[in-house]
Amino acid sequence: SKHIKVVQSGQGADEVFGGYHWYPPMQGASDPVETYAKAFFDRSHETLKTHLNPEWMADTDVSRALVAEHFARAGAETPVDQALRLDSQVMLVDDPVKRVDNMTMAFGLEARVPFLDHELVELAGRIPPEHKLSQNGKGVLKEAARLVVPHEVIDRKKGYFPVPALKYIQGPYLDMVRDALGSQAARERGLFQQGYLDQLFDKPTDHITPLQGSELWQVALLEMWLQNHGV
């Protein structure tokens, strides 16, 4: 940030132009909520009943209810558009955009998000889903970019940035997780069933969620967040 104060960010392109893998299954889905849940949810309500102690369980599946409520709103006529709207209005705001903003501001940078310009988002919302999903996603954006961007960039494999330690918890990270979930605060909270925690610690690297995350890390992360915020 000594020489550069403002940077451009690509945040929002996937959520606005249909770049994620869970959008194609939404096309023509007879049950959009169920299709979205299968592609996006990492745990079912029934599974959570075997993980959480009863006093912490909601009577209904609040996550599915949130999706159903958003999908039912007027203005998004197809399942794909319903998913795009939900992701751009909820997930995008509270996760990727906030994360990038926190990272850049920590180093004195300002990140601009041109793909989230409201006029561009409104235009994208009027484009039929099949044009957005073409070319393995973001088809209409890729086609426009071909005028100025080399095809080697446009057609390369979509990149992700996973952190291996968050999937296979070992060594000092396992010790940190064990300390957090075995702490007095965690025991007094009683959020997770002890039998479930015993299973996770018995084979820490074996319990992988449907979306390929570590169950143990997710459980520990929630407990550590609660402790750090004094909840």
Is the pLDDT at 53 greater than 80? The verdict is yes
**Predicted pLDDT of residue 162:** 63
**Predicted pLDDT of residue 165:** 60
pTM: 0.84
The residue-averaged pLDDT of 48-72 equals: 96
**Predicted pLDDT of residue 176:** 96
**Predicted pLDDT of residue 200:** 97
Task: Give the tokens for residue 209.
Answer: 């969620």
**Predicted pLDDT of residue 135:** 95
Please state, for a pLDDT cut of 70, what percent of the chain lies above it: 97
Q: Rounded to whole angstroms, how far apart are CA atoms 108 and 106?
A: 6
* Residues 225/216, Cβ–Cβ less than 8 Å: no
**Burial annotation 66-88 (CB, 10 A radius, 16+ → b, else e):** ebeebbeeeebebbbbbbbbbbb
Give the contacts of 51 (CB within 8 A, at least 6 positions apart): 43, 192, 193, 196, 219
The residue-averaged pLDDT of 65-93 equals: 95
Q: Where are the domains of the chain?
A: 6-154, 164-228
Length of the chain: 231
